Amino acid sequence: PNLFNFQDVLFPTVAFGMGSTYIGEIYASFGILGFIVFLNFLMGIFLTIENLLPKIRQLETYTFIIISLAYISFYIHRNTFGFTIISIKRILIIMVFFILCEKIIKIPYKKQQTQ
């Protein structure tokens, strides 16, 4: 048996090759109807988060959500679910690093004055 052929284990009923993306995984598991339901679910999540963004007052949280959503919405058709989670974790680690650097160096935020 081929050790790298995970499709036989994960999707034994799929006769064609998969591209290991959300689109391929959803289509192979649930067909075209499942794919349409998935897209509507994903758009619902994006719209819900977009409506909640104006209520977020913490700059770090707001920045993390904006960067993560931009990354997910642009790369969702190219990556697997696992790689997307890893990428979001990397964004979070980088943000934590910069927040810690800011706390250590004590860089003050400058507020703009409105006129």
Task: Give me the DSSP letters along 27-57.
Answer: HHHHHHHHHHHHHHHHHHHHHHHHHHGGG--
pLDDT at 33: 94
Weakest mean pLDDT among 52-56, 90-94, 110-114: 110-114
> pLDDT tens for residues 53-82?
889 888 888 888 888 888 888 887 787 777
**Of how many residues is the chain composed?**
115
pLDDT at 16: 64
What gap in Å lies between CA 10 and CA 47, rounded to an integer?
31
Q: Tokens 């959500």 identify what position?
A: 65
pLDDT at 18: 60
> pLDDT tens for residues 8-36?
777 777 766 666 787 777 887 788 999 89
Structure tokens, 66 = 């904006």
Is the pLDDT confidence value at 107 over 80? no
pLDDT at 50: 86
Q: Residue 9 to residues 2, 38, 49, 105: CA-CA distances in angstroms? A: 11, 23, 35, 51
